[in-house]
């Protein structure tokens, strides 16, 4: 799940990334990785809510497209059903999600 809130005071968009409990199973950790953090799973760990949902909010520059994915427990990769588009990954046979702002 992706929520976009465009800021009026600067050229940024507040983007909330969220994965419900049924998508992550019994995950201990979930991170959002992508162009915006050099695909570093330690850069933007998602916080687990009481409902079991994992969420993280980032401020990203507008007029850009970002590739991203989720990493569960540092081993399983997952795409977001709400991505704006999908492109082939340059490093695997998978596809990366695209977020257009």
Per-residue pLDDT reduced to its tens digit, 33-84? 999 999 999 999 999 999 999 999 999 999 999 999 999 999 999 999 999 9
CATH of the domain at 48: 2.60.40.10
Q: What's the pLDDT tens digit per position in 1-36?
A: 899 999 999 999 999 999 999 999 889 999 999 999
Quick one: which of 30, 31, 6, 1 has its CA closest to 17?
1
Per-residue pLDDT at 88 = 96
Cα within 13 Å of Cα(52), Cβ side:
8
* Domain hosting residue 36, numbered range: 2-100
The domain tally of the chain equals 1
Contacts of 26 (CB under 8 A, 6+ apart): none
Whether the predicted model's global pTM rises above the 0.75 cut? yes
- The DSSP symbol for 21 reads H
Q: What's the pLDDT tens digit per position in 23-32?
A: 998 899 999 9
Cα within 13 Å of Cα(95), Cβ side:
10
Per-residue pLDDT at 93 = 85
Tell me how far the alpha carbon of residue 41 is from its chain's centroid. 11
């Amino acid at each position: 799940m992706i929520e976009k809130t465009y800021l009026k005071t600067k050229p940024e968009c507040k983007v909330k990334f969220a994965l419900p409990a049924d998508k992550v199973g019994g995950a201990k950790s979930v991170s959002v990785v992508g162009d915006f953090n050099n695909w570093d799973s330690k850069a933007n760990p998602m916080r687990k809510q009481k409902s079991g949902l994992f969420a993280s909010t980032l401020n990203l520059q507008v007029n850009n497209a970002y590739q991203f994915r989720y990493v569960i427990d540092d081993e399983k990769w997952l795409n977001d059903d709400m991505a704006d588009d999908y492109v082939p990954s340059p490093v695997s046979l998978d596809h990366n999600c695209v977020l257009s702002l």
